[in-house]
Amino acid sequence: MTHEDSQLGDVYVNEDCIGCSACVAICGEVFDLDDEGKAFSKKGIKQSESVDDAISACPVNAIHYKD
């Protein structure tokens, strides 16, 4: 899985991800880790408070909403 593949929903994780898994801990229904230990978003995810919390917790600002 590539980070381009993770851009399937309205929220995505870019290539800056360091695999800290903070987003998974906060919002595991939206985020998961791939085989390389990098986060990705699951398909069809919309904005929510838990996603916003995960975005705020990301230490490298790798999580974004699509424009």
Q: Residue ranges of the domains in the chain?
A: 11-65
Contact (CB, 8 A) for 19 and 63: no
Give me the residues paired with residue 12 across strands. 64
Would you say residue 12 has pLDDT above 50? yes
* Mean pLDDT of all residues in 6-33: 88
Q: What pLDDT was estimated at residue 2?
A: 45
What's the alpha-carbon Rg for the chain, to the nearest Å? 10
CB neighbour class for 8 (10 Å; exposed up to 12, middle 13-18, buried from 19) = middle
Pick the CATH number of 11-65 from 3.30.70.20, 3.30.950.10, 3.40.190.10, 3.40.50.300: 3.30.70.20
